[in-house]
Homo-oligomer: A and B are copies of this chain.
Amino acid sequence: MAINVRDTRIAVMGAGAVGSYFGGMFARGGARVTLIGRPAHVDAIRASKLFLDTVTFQERIAIDASNEVSAVRDAQFVLLCVKTLDTEKAAQALAPCLSPGAILISMQNGVDNVARIRAATGIDALPAVVYIAAALPEPGHVKHSGRGELIFGEYANPASGRTKAIPNRPEIVAELCATAGIPCRVSPYIEADQWTKMLMNCAGNAVTAIAQTSFAHAARNLQSREVMRAVIDECVAVARASGVQLPDVDWTEKGVKNAESLGEATSSTAQDIARGKLTEIDSLNGYIVRRGKELGLPVPVNLTLYALVKLIEESAAKRARPVTGSA
Contact of B310 with A221 in the complex, beta carbons under 8 Å: yes
A195-239 contacts to B (CB < 8 Å): 207, 210-215, 217-218, 221, 223-224, 226-227, 230
Q: How far is the CA of A110 from the CA of B39 in the complex (A)?
A: 54
Q: Select which of B133, B308, B324 is within 8 A of A207 by beta carbon.
A: B308
Q: How far is the CA of A230 from the CA of B308 in the complex (A)?
A: 13
Closest to A143 in B: B324
Chain B residues with CB below 8 A from A20, complex form: none
Chain B residues with CB below 8 A from A318, complex form: 213-214, 217
Contact of B221 with A324 in the complex, beta carbons under 8 Å: no
Contact of A327 with B268 in the complex, beta carbons under 8 Å: yes
- Which stretch (A26-34, A40-48, A116-124, A258-266) binds chain B? A258-266
Whether A101 is near chain B, meaning CB under 8 Å from some CB there, is no
Count of this chain's copies in the oligomeric assembly: 2
Q: How far is the CA of A326 from the CA of B267 in the complex (A)?
A: 5
Chain B residues with CB below 8 A from A271, complex form: 323, 325
A99-156 contacts to B (CB < 8 Å): 109, 130-135, 143, 145-146
Whether A307 is near chain B, meaning CB under 8 Å from some CB there, is yes
Contact of B270 with A133 in the complex, beta carbons under 8 Å: no
Chain B residues with CB below 8 A from A210, complex form: 210, 308, 311-312
Nearest first, the 3 closest Cβ-Cβ pairs linking A and B are A223-B307, A135-B325, A213-B315
- Which stretch (A160-168, A180-188, A241-249, A298-306) binds chain B? A298-306
Contact of B227 with A266 in the complex, beta carbons under 8 Å: no
Contact of B266 with A223 in the complex, beta carbons under 8 Å: no
A47 to chain B, nearest CB (A): 24
Q: How far is the CA of A183 from the CA of B283 in the complex (A)?
A: 50
Contact of A311 with B268 in the complex, beta carbons under 8 Å: no
Q: Would A213 and B266 be within 8 Å (CB), given that A145-B324, A325-B134 are in contact?
A: no
Contact of A303 with B301 in the complex, beta carbons under 8 Å: yes
Query: A60-79: contact bitstring with B at CB < 8 Å (1 yes, 0 no)?
Result: 00000000000000000000
13 residue pairs bridging A and B, Cβ less than 8 Å apart: A133-B326, A145-B324, A210-B311, A213-B314, A215-B326, A217-B315, A221-B310, A221-B314, A223-B311, A224-B310, A226-B303, A227-B304, A227-B308
Whether A17 is near chain B, meaning CB under 8 Å from some CB there, is yes
Contact of B304 with A221 in the complex, beta carbons under 8 Å: no
Contact of A325 with B224 in the complex, beta carbons under 8 Å: no
Q: Select which of B17, B18, B270 is within 8 A of A323 by beta carbon.
A: B270
Q: How far is the CA of A17 from the CA of B326 in the complex (A)?
A: 10
Contact of B224 with A308 in the complex, beta carbons under 8 Å: yes
**Listed residue (A143, A212, A304) with the most chain B CB atoms within 10 angstroms of its CB:** A304
A144 to chain B, nearest CB (A): 9
Contact of B226 with A266 in the complex, beta carbons under 8 Å: no
Closest to A313 in B: B211
Q: How far is the CA of A33 from the CA of B265 in the complex (A)?
A: 53
